[in-house]
Structure 1
Amino acid sequence: MRTQLPPQMNLVALAGRIQPQDGSLAAARSHAMSVRTRLGKTFALHSAKKIGSHARQTAIHRFSDLDFMVVFRKEEFIWGGRLVSSDTILNKLVTDLGDRYPSTYVRRDVLAASLVFGSSGQSLDVVPAMFLGFTGARPVFQIPDGQGGWLRTSPETHDRHFEIHQERSGNRLRKVSQLLKWWKHARTQPLPIRSFYIDMLLCTGGLGAPVGKTYGGCLEDFFEYLVATECRALLDPCVIAGEISPNDTYAQRETLYRAASFALVHARAASLAEKRRDFPEANRQWDLVFNGNY
């Protein structure tokens, strides 16, 4: 029985069950290309690319939106010689995509225009961007900051940073990230923690997946860090985006802190039970961490 197995084996099995499905990924790629074609008819575009969890291969089945960064030519962002508000660009995106996909739910998200396609249930977040220049050999863009302004980002730099730590972990870091994203979504209302924050925090301070440490130990370390820092913002390890916040408000931070504190208590209890080889109790504790979705 599953409860009799070591938690490490069950966590590995859980990571396998939450992998994105080929059909959903194909549908998402098709929708992204359709959106790219549509926007190219309305706006002056430079390029478009997949970013976020799907680009870093840390997405999970059903819950990870496909983030699609569309790079506009500079003239679309400038009016009267000045940079326009990111709200203006996002509103234009939502209006244009709503006209193109009248049967699709199109809304404005914090950083993107979000589309939910009924045929696949796959959500596509379209992030407008403008090229700024290079940091080293990697391109830097500006994208909406959610408050009408703009923030700097370099998906290529952050993805490469994550890949370096993935290799150092013996190719285990992605699975740890996916398990944390499952923890985020294993409840009626997802926990207020950004996927980007999870991935970048795992690359900081040895929190990732050190060789020899179990997945359970890695999750426990992550929860311990959240509690110890009271879920504060993280300095961008790539020195591009400034601070990377897990969420937007004090109330969300409090919610995340309470959830991390609960998870830490039960992750520690699971670890102690596993050390005395009480696997049923260890697995029961992990089931509490994952809100009955272990």
Structure 2
Amino acid sequence: MVVADYTKEENGFKIYEIADGNGGWMEVSPDAHNHYVAEVDKKHGGKVKPLIRFIKAWKYYRDVPINSFYLEMRVAKYANGESSIVYDIDVKQILTMLSGNELAAMQDPMGVSGYIYPCKTDAFKQDALSKLKTAATRAEKARVAEANNDTKTAFDSWRLLYNDKFPAYYL
């Protein structure tokens, strides 16, 4: 359970303060953030929430210490700038982007929380970056294999990415 204190309402969304994990407080608005994700998801015909789930599944299956809220906001912001969503392409692009920007803190797209940080500690961030680099490589290998009509190798790469939780390829 998270202790939250209602502080105000802005733009029709309730704003709360919660502990930031560093001895201070941060403002959050679950309604505002859910609205943002829902709008981007609607823009892409319902493909953004599943894309977020693909990235969070990787985080979960590979025990990657990245904040789920950070991933959700990063993926939604990424998707907001795209003209279409194609899961295998965009999973690879997101993993590559996260690795390339070295999990940089991001501005809250709703302007509520200030900066959103990816990890609780620098040690977690270094672990996450190592896992991201591996993940981006595996996703790229899957994309290349599929482009070369090597579906079995593509499936094998996705299985590695998702720690054997991706379906196996059978002829």
Deviation at 1:214, TM superposition (A): 2.2
| Equivalent position SS for 1:270 | helix
Residue-by-residue CA offset, 1:38-69 (whole Å, 9 max, x unaligned): xxxxxxxxxxxxxxxxxxxxxxxxxxxxxxxx
Distance 1:282 1:202 in 2: 23
Classify the secondary structure of the residue corresponding to 1:204. helix
1:206-248 Cα distance to aligned partner (Å, 9 max, x none): 478752x421111111111111111121111111101111111
TM-score between both structures, scaled by the size of structure 1: 0.54
Conserved? CA contact 2:142–2:158, under 8 Å: yes
Q: Which of the pair is proportionally richer in strand? A: 1
SS of residue in 2 equivalent to 1:147: coil
Q: For residues 2-57 of structure 1, what are the alpha-carbon distances to aligned partners after superposition, in whole Å with 9 as ceiling and x for unaligned? A: xxxxxxxxxxxxxxxxxxxxxxxxxxxxxxxxxxxxxxxxxxxxxxxxxxxxxxxx
Structure 1: gaps spanning 5 or more residues:
1-125
**Cα RMSD, aligned residues only:** 1.6
Residues 208, 252 of structure 1: CA spacing in aligned structure 2 closer, same or farther, 3 A cutoff? farther
Kindly provide the amino acid, as one letter, of the partner of residue 251 in structure 1. Answer: A
- 1:209–1:215 Cα contact (<8 Å) kept: no
TM-score (norm. length: structure 2): 0.91
SS in 2 for 1:127: coil
Structure 2 CA distance for aligned equivalents of residues 262 and 220 of structure 1: 11
Match of 2:26 in 1: 151
1:181 to 56, 64, 86: 56
Between the aligned partners of 1:264 and 1:165, the Cα distance in structure 2 is 24
Q: Which residue of 1 aligns with 2:169?
A: none
How much has 1:205 moved relative to structure 2? Answer: 3.7
Give the counterpart of 2:73 among 196, 200, 223. Answer: 200
Q: 1:163 aligns with which of 34, 38, 55?
A: 38
Which portions of structure 1, spanning 4 or more consecutive aligned residues, are displaced by more than 3 angstroms?
205-210
State the partner residue of 1:217.
89
Give the greater-gyration-radius structure (CA).
1
Question: How many angstroms does 1:265 deviate by?
Answer: 0.8
C-alpha distance in 1 between matches for 2:81 and 2:75: 4
- Counterpart amino acid of residue 191 in structure 1: V
The count of residues paired between Structure 1 and Structure 2 equals: 166
Q: Identical aligned pairs, as a percentage?
A: 27
Is the alpha carbon distance of 1:205 and 1:185 closer, same or farther for their aligned partners in structure 2, counting shifts above 3 Å? closer
CA distance in 2 between counterparts of 1:270 and 1:209 reads 21
Q: Is the 8 A contact 1:201 1:207 kept in 2?
A: no
